[in-house]
Amino acid sequence: MPRMACELPDYSTVTPDELAQACRAAVEDCDARIAELVAIPSGQRTFENTVLALEEARAAVKEARAAWGFLAEVAPGEGLRAASQVWGERLDKHMIGIGLDEQVFQAVHEYKDNARAAALSEVDARLLEELLRGFQRSGIDLPTVQRDRLRTLLDELVELGSGFAATLAGWRDGIVVDRNELDGLSETFIEGLERVGEGYWVSLDNPEYWPFMCEARSAERRRELLEKNLRKGGVENVARLERALAVRQEIAGMLGYSCWAAYVLETRMAKTPEVAAVFLDDLRARIAPKVVADLAEMAEANVQAGGSREMPQWEQPYAISRLKQTRYAFDDAEAAQYLPLEACLEGLFATIGAVLGVRFEEVTDASVWHPEVRTFDVVEAAQVTQAAQARQATQATGGAGSAGGAPFGRFHLDLYPRPDKYKHAMALALRPGRRVADGSWQQPVAVMLANLTRPSADTPSLLRHAELVTLFHEFGHVLHEVLARAEHLRHSGAETEIDFVEAPSQMLEHWCWEPAVLGSFARHYRTGEPMPNRLLNGLAAAKTAASGVLTMQQLAFATLDAAYHSAGYSGDSTATYARVYAQHGDAYVEGTHLQSGITHLFGYDAAYYSYLWSKVLGDDMYTRFQQAGPLDPATGAHYRRTVLERGGSVGGVTMVRDFLGRDPSNEAFLRDIGL
């Protein structure tokens, strides 16, 4: 099969010096393009030589940031991670400088006043409007002294966010337990733990943390592990966050906003903090009766298992697991035996391929940053048959290549935890798909980072159902990057409103709960037997088990995020955390600081409500597939055309309306959580 001309670094051999050289060249390229742009006489300005020229200048820095900056989260070598962090900060600061450049702003404004600007297409007019609004929101109209102060504050925010993330990536903590303190956990899980003398090391990595919290019978050790998790990032990250909150508030005031939330939400679907607050308050009131019922069920299940009727934070995951087993006959550890990663990937690719009309072809000789990373090209389904046959023939004879239809996108999967790697799950564009200056199409490349259960010496990677959901969810972001067909960099891939960007991924989660879909690939890793109906049916029935409590946990963090970024924030992030969580039913655990370990407080700041907001949209969009059939290709083609391919070239509400043929509703979301 022909290879994509990715023009990305050779990640397998890259050095810190190469990274620095490439990023420095990107800055120089950007500056040279901007110098040409501002030198054009005002009467000669066109969309191409001003607006698109600015896009190309920004692309030089933004694409270097995408291609090189993510290495701070994944590179095995400390030197490369450090260089990536340093240059990631420099490139982010350079982008800030463009937004505060008076000459660039004047050039774009001159073009806007040109009569020809009125004849722009809808997409081009949107780009021009967004560019001008971005200058205004960057403080371009402020007096010079204030603008200099603003630049200093914005640069400091970059450094604070980078330091916060780096601390978490390198954080290593956990507990050492005796063999009898692993009572309740599967032998497969235990075999995968690191040995420490006569004991076993249980880390804060998700594949170890969550099974222990859900299955370990020792409440005391669960409490100890939870407290470690709630102190992740340390007091240094508390200090970074509190400084960032103060900086954000000062910036908002300088720009004329009452608080950071008012500034951030102005360009989101919600528009104002008040609208977001009404959304959260309404949901909180709706789920309150479900929370009461959930806690009663959880307590009863916990007591039957010999535990407490009280539901502090360290009891809740264990009680939920007991509830699923006793009431719904669903055992997550047993189900994992039927969810080996390879089968889950095959099921994911087959499902999405059938729905969206694409195929995923593994590339075994791609340049990657770690031996465990796998790479796949994306090909239109109609093009792939001959290519697949050719590749099978060459593989059978030991060959290394094949011929067939050209791929139009690529993605990498970096799925297992390791030291100094990003600790949660996310997807990023390494190279955005867009139209470049010569008129050709730049093929997108994305990466999915996750921390799924590792294989052991005797077993493959066996996924808990929650990990399968994570796999599907993050792949939704990958699809958003590689299937988008927006023309401009600013609209590429998942560059949509932050309270819409999660909707395609949350919609994709629904296929993990469809018994017919799950049953098509869930096979026992040893025997090959399909997952039994009792587990499939139990899983479907247990979907709303404790859904009120779990939704309330999301509401608690969304409310905390809003409180941090409100005009009334006190300045003490831990006291605010204790107060907000107590209001949502979770007593504060003395000496902890959850906020030090939440990366979303940088990037989703003032917008964490988006996860619930976009879930309403994603659940509603899935109703089209429920009506037509979960694998219906016509519905998939319509979804691809009206949502994924448009990137950020239109607003989220327009995409939802165009796909659904009506205004969005919260009815599907409420049904999905059992209301």
pLDDT digits (tens, 9 = 90+) for 649-674: 999 999 999 999 999 999 999 999 99
Joined together, the tokens standing for residue 324 give 């699923």
Claim to verify: residue 114 and residue 36 sit in the same structural domain: yes
Residues facing residue 200 across a β-bridge: 177, 195
Q: 606 and 565 in contact (C-beta within 8 Å)? A: yes
Q: Which residues neighbour 304 within 8 Å (Cβ) at sequence distance 6 or greater?
A: 322, 326
Kindly indicate the confidence band of residue 405, based on its pLDDT and cuts at 50, 70 and 90. Answer: low
pLDDT per residue as tens digits for the range 89-111: 999 999 999 999 999 999 999 99
341-345 contacts, C-beta under 8 A, 24 or more apart: 341/415, 341/452, 341/453, 341/455, 341/460, 341/461, 341/462, 341/463, 342/460, 342/461, 343/521, 343/522, 343/523, 343/525, 344/463, 344/468, 344/471, 344/521, 345/413, 345/471
The residues near 152 (Cβ < 8 Å, ≥ 6 apart) are none
Is 25 in the same domain as 124? yes
The confidence score (pLDDT) of residue 399 equals: 31
Residue ending a domain, choose from 90, 117, 137: 137
Task: List pLDDT tens digits, range 534-563.
Answer: 999 999 999 999 999 999 999 999 999 999
Model pLDDT for residues 517-538, shown as the tens digit of each residue = 999 999 999 999 999 999 999 9
pLDDT 10s digits, 192-212? 999 999 999 999 999 999 999
pLDDT of residue 505 exceeding 60, the answer is: yes
Kindly indicate the confidence band of residue 406, based on its pLDDT and cuts at 50, 70 and 90. confident
Q: Single out the residue of 261, 161, 267 nearest to residue 499, CA to CA.
A: 267
Number of domains in the chain: 2
Q: Are 569 and 576 in contact (CB under 8 A)?
A: yes
Q: Please, which pLDDT band fits residue 171 given cuts at 50, 70 and 90? A: very high
- Residue 472 has a pLDDT of 98
Six-digit token string for 188? 């497969």
78, 80, 85, 88: CA torsion to nearest 10: -170
* Coil/strand/helix, residue 375: strand
**Given a cut of 50, is residue 395 above it in pLDDT?**
no
Q: Which of 507, 505, 500, 509 shows the shortest CA–CA distance to 609?
A: 500
As a whole number, mean pLDDT of residues 422-429 equals: 95
- Span 616-652, pLDDT tens digits: 999 999 999 999 999 999 999 999 999 999 999 999 9
Residue 106: which domain range? Answer: 16-99+101-137
| Average pLDDT, rounded, for the chain | 93
Of 137, 161, 195, which residue sits at a domain end? 137
C-alpha to C-alpha distance for 555 and 575, rounded to whole angstroms: 18
φ/ψ region of 420 (left if φ > 0, alpha if ψ in -120 to 50, else beta) reads: left
Banded pLDDT at 117 (limits 50, 70, 90): confident
For the chain, percent of residues with pLDDT exceeding 70: 96
Say if residue 270's pLDDT is above 70. yes
How far is residue 613's CA from residue 551's CA, in Å, rounded to a whole number? 12
- Is position 209 within any domain? yes
Q: Which residues contact 118 (CB under 8 A, 6 or more apart)?
A: none
Q: Are residues 124 and 184 in the same domain?
A: no
H helices present in 397-523, as ranges: 465-483, 503-508, 515-521
What's the burial of 670, exposed, middle or buried (CB within 10 Å: 0-12/13-18/19+)? middle
Does residue 535 belong to any structural domain of this protein?
no
In sequence order, the 6+-apart residues with CB closer than 8 A to the CB of 556 are 580, 581, 583, 584, 586
Residue 343 pLDDT > 50: yes
Residue 295 lies in a domain: no
Contacts of 344-347 with CB under 8 Å at 24 or more apart are: 344/463, 344/468, 344/471, 344/521, 345/413, 345/471, 346/521, 347/517, 347/518, 347/520, 347/521, 347/522
Instruction: Count CB neighbours of 582 within 10 A.
Output: 12
Do the domain assignments include residue 671? Answer: no
Residue range 579-585: average pLDDT? 96
> Of 114-123, 393-402, 480-489, 607-616, which gets the smallest average pLDDT?
393-402
* Domain CATH number, residue 63: 1.20.1050.40
DSSP H helical segments within 255-370, as ranges? 260-265, 273-304, 316-328, 332-336, 341-356
Residues 128 and 56 grouped into a single domain = yes
Tens-place pLDDT, residues 39-82: 999 999 999 999 999 999 999 999 999 999 999 999 999 999 99
Q: Could you tell me if 618 and 505 are in contact, meaning their C-beta atoms sit under 8 angstroms apart?
A: yes
Residue linked to tokens 């943390």: 209
> How would residue 383 be classed by pLDDT, with cut points 50, 70 and 90?
low
Which domain-ending residue is among 229, 248, 278?
A: 229
Q: Are residues 49 and 120 in the same domain?
A: yes
pLDDT value of position 54: 97
Task: Give the model's confidence band at 397: pLDDT under 50 very low, under 70 low, under 90 confident, else very high.
Answer: very low
Annotated catalytic residues are 474
The contacts of residue 117 (CB under 8 Å, 6+ apart) are 47, 111, 125, 128
Q: Which pLDDT does position 404 carry in this prediction?
A: 41
Does residue 4 carry a pLDDT above 70? no
Residue 624, H or E segment: helix 610-628
Whether the Cβ atoms of residue 450 and residue 625 lie closer than 8 Å to each other: no
Are both 118 and 201 inside the same structural domain?
no
Q: Rounded to an integer, what distance in angstroms lies between the CA atom of residue 280 and that of residue 162?
A: 30
Q: Do 23 and 123 share a structural domain?
A: yes
Decide if 118 is inside a domain: yes
What pLDDT digit, counting tens, does each position of 438-485 carry? 889 999 999 999 999 999 888 999 999 999 999 999 999 999 999 999
Q: State mean pLDDT over 342-363.
A: 97
pLDDT single digits (tens) 132-144: 999 999 999 999 9
Verify that 204 and 114 share a domain, yes or no.
no
76 and 131 fall within a common domain: yes
**Biggest alpha carbon–alpha carbon distance for the chain:** 81
456, 191 Cβ separation under 8 angstroms: yes
If asked whether residues 129 and 45 sit together in one domain, one would say: yes
In a domain, 180, yes or no: yes
Instruction: Evaluate whether residue 55 is within a structural domain.
Output: yes
Cβ(595)–Cβ(241) below 8 Å: yes
Parallel/antiparallel/unpaired status of strands 358-363 and 434-435? unpaired
Residue 12 CA to residue 526 CA, distance in Å, equals 34
Q: pLDDT tens digits for 556-572?
A: 999 999 999 999 999 99
Residue 612 in tokens: 């619930």
CA distances (Å), 96 to each of 91, 104, 158, in order?
A: 9, 12, 10
CA angle at 649 for the pair 646 and 653, rounded to the nearest 5°: 80
Question: What CA–CA distance (Å, rounded) separates 378 from 269?
Answer: 31
Q: State whether 26 and 125 are in the same domain.
A: yes
Residue 110 covered by a domain:
yes
Residues 120, 217, single domain; the answer is no
pLDDT recorded at residue 550: 97
Output the pLDDT for position 384.
43
